[in-house]
């Protein structure tokens, strides 16, 4: 019910569910050569499907909301600012990338509401097999720890996940085989860095309880 209310409060903001529709691939990074340090990414969309995508639409790329500026066949381009590159992971090199198109009001919400604004970058501490699952433990930036709760939602590189345990700045997640196979998380290792977006409900709760607090910075 609260997720529905928040969606109604933000009818003009691109929002996502954290359910990855396709693992695409960054095939080129090109300076725009217009006097700015902005980089243009060319992305092969894989199974995402671009027939209903128009120029100006939003696509979450590894959890970062970006705007489509070109589209040809099954490939699209997005521009990424130096600020976004400096505070996110996975947009500065060729390789696989998690993709999700922005939600429409009639879409089923399979994960949780996600803005596509990265709040910080975490570090993978453990990625251990547990049967055919994997135990993923991440160390989050200290300033994000208060927003992460056991059995709460968090977005990791664009993927909506539920925490199993929280200990200070560290939290643990169980990844099932489907998630491992259908997102880039199946290929991570200890020491890798991942994009994190806190649950927007936690953000609103803090704002209501402490209206003078500085909001978490994001990209």
Distance CA 16, CA 102 (A): 5
Q: Are residues 26 and 67 in the same domain?
A: yes
Residues spanned by the domain of 144: 120-209
- Please report the pLDDT score of residue 5 as a whole number: 46
For 113-163, the pLDDT digits (tens) are: 888 999 999 999 999 999 999 999 999 999 999 999 999 999 999 999 999
- Please report the pLDDT score of residue 9 as a whole number: 46
For 6-37, the pLDDT digits (tens) are: 444 454 467 899 999 999 999 999 998 777 88
In a domain, 217, yes or no: no
Q: Which residue has the higher pLDDT, 208 or 95?
A: 95
For 63-80, the pLDDT digits (tens) are: 999 999 999 999 999 999
Q: Are residues 137 and 85 in the same domain?
A: no
Three-state DSSP at 207 gives helix
Q: Which residue has the higher pLDDT, 1 or 178?
A: 178
- pLDDT at residue 217 above 70? no
- Please report the pLDDT score of residue 7 as a whole number: 47
Mean pLDDT of 41-60: 96
Q: Are residues 17 and 94 in the same domain?
A: yes
Q: Are residues 124 and 194 in the same domain?
A: yes
Q: Which residue has the higher pLDDT, 125 or 107?
A: 125
Asked if 89 and 104 count as a contact pair (C-beta separation under 8 A), the reply is no
Q: Are residues 130 and 97 in the same domain?
A: no
- Please report the pLDDT score of residue 12 as a whole number: 47
Distance CA 173, CA 83 (A): 29
* Mean pLDDT score of the chain: 89
Helix (H) or strand (E) holding 197: strand 193-198
Q: Are residues 82 and 124 in the same domain?
A: no
pTM score: 0.87
In a domain, 113, yes or no: no
Mean pLDDT of 162-186: 97
Pairing of strands 95-101, 75-80: unpaired
In a domain, 115, yes or no: no
Q: What is the CATH number of the domain that holds 22?
A: 2.40.30.20
Q: Are residues 89 and 163 in the same domain?
A: no
Q: Are residues 10 and 91 in the same domain?
A: yes
For 198-211, the pLDDT digits (tens) are: 988 877 777 788 77
The tally of domains found in the chain comes to 2
- Please report the pLDDT score of residue 34 as a whole number: 79
- pLDDT at residue 4 above 60? no
Q: Which residue has the higher pLDDT, 207 or 47?
A: 47
Q: Are residues 128 and 168 in the same domain?
A: yes
- pLDDT at residue 96 above 80? yes
């Amino acid at each position: 019910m609260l997720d529905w209310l928040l969606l109604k409060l933000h009818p003009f903001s691109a929002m996502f569910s954290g359910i990855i529709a396709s693992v695409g691939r960054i095939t080129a990074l090109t300076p725009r050569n217009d006097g700015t340090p902005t980089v243009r990414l060319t992305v092969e969309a894989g199974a995402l499907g671009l027939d209903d995508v128009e120029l100006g639409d939003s696509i979450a790329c590894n959890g970062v909301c970006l705007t489509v500026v070109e589209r040809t066949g099954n490939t699209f381009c997005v521009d990424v600012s130096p600020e976004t590159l400096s505070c996110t992971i996975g947009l500065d090199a060729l390789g696989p990338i998690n993709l999700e198109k922005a939600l429409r009001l009639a879409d089923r919400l399979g994960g949780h509401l996600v803005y596509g604004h990265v709040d910080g970058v975490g570090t993978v501490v453990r990625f251990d097999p547990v049967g055919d699952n994997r135990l993923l433990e991440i160390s989050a930036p200290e300033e994000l720890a208060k927003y992460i709760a056991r059995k709460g939602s968090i977005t990791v590189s664009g993927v909506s996940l539920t925490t199993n345990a929280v200990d200070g700045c560290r939290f643990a997640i169980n990844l099932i085989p489907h998630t491992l196979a259908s997102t880039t998380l199946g290929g991570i290792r200890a020491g890798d860095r991942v994009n994190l977006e806190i649950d927007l409900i936690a953000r609103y709760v803090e704002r209501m309880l402490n209206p003078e607090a500085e909001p978490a910075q994001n990209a």
